[in-house]
């Protein structure tokens, strides 16, 4: 391998240039090329399966809100009712979350949240428009209306993440048929 050499440099150029033997250059590229091939295969495999994420924008744009179905979930200490919460794939839904308890409750369903298109969440004080949520908190005696479109079938875990609530059994399922 050749040693470092000084060459005249152009403005903005570094004054020392490294000369690397062609064989050494190839051996340095092998791990990079191998990583690129593995990454490409992983991306191809994950994007080419049926577990692909649903097109939420398309689900929302195609929704006929004049045919909305209402599903009510009541949260109390320490339960969701009904359980499972049953929704229909592709059907615009007004999910009414009622807190019939004496404590605040969270409606948390991480995997379900990834496969629904949210139009808005509202109560008598106003509305929130956002593409996704991590939790919906409902205060004691209050109600929140969530307008959404389930874009993928499945059974999803539901729980309240207020300290101690899930441990006392405040868990459930959401089934999209």
Predicted model pTM = 0.69
Do 160 and 78 fall into the same domain? yes
- Owning domain of residue 24: 5-47
Instruction: Write out the E strands in the chain.
Output: 5-6, 16-17, 69-76, 79-81, 85-87, 93-99, 105-107, 116-123, 126-128, 136-138, 143-150, 154-159, 171-176
Instruction: Give the pLDDT of the chain (177 residues) as one tens digit per residue.
Output: 444 444 444 555 444 444 555 555 444 444 433 333 333 333 333 333 345 677 888 888 889 999 999 999 999 999 999 999 999 999 999 999 999 999 999 999 999 999 999 999 998 888 888 878 899 999 999 999 999 999 999 999 999 999 999 999 999 999 999
Domain containing residue 138: CATH number:
2.60.40.420
**Domain shared by 38 and 104, yes or no:** no
Clarify whether residues 71 and 41 are in a common domain. no
The structural domain count of the chain equals 2
């Amino acid at each position: 391998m050749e040693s470092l050499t000084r060459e005249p440099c152009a403005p903005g150029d570094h004054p020392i240039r490294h000369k690397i033997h062609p064989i050494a250059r190839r051996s340095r590229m092998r791990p990079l090329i191998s990583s690129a091939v593995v990454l490409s295969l992983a991306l191809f495999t994950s994007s080419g399966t049926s577990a692909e994420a649903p097109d939420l924008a398309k689900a929302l744009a195609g929704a006929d809100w004049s045919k909305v179905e209402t599903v009510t979930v009541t949260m109390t200490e320490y339960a969701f009712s009904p359980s499972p919460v049953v929704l229909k794939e592709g059907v615009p839904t007004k999910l009414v979350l009622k807190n019939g308890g004496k404590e605040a409750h969270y409606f948390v369903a991480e995997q379900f949240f990834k496969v629904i298109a949210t139009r808005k969440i509202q109560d008598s004080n106003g509305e929130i428009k956002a593409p996704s949520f991590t939790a919906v908190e409902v205060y004691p005696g209050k109600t929140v209306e969530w307008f959404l479109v389930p874009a993928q079938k499945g059974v999803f875990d539901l729980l309240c993440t207020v300290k101690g609530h899930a441990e006392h059994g405040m868990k459930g399922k959401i089934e999209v048929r």
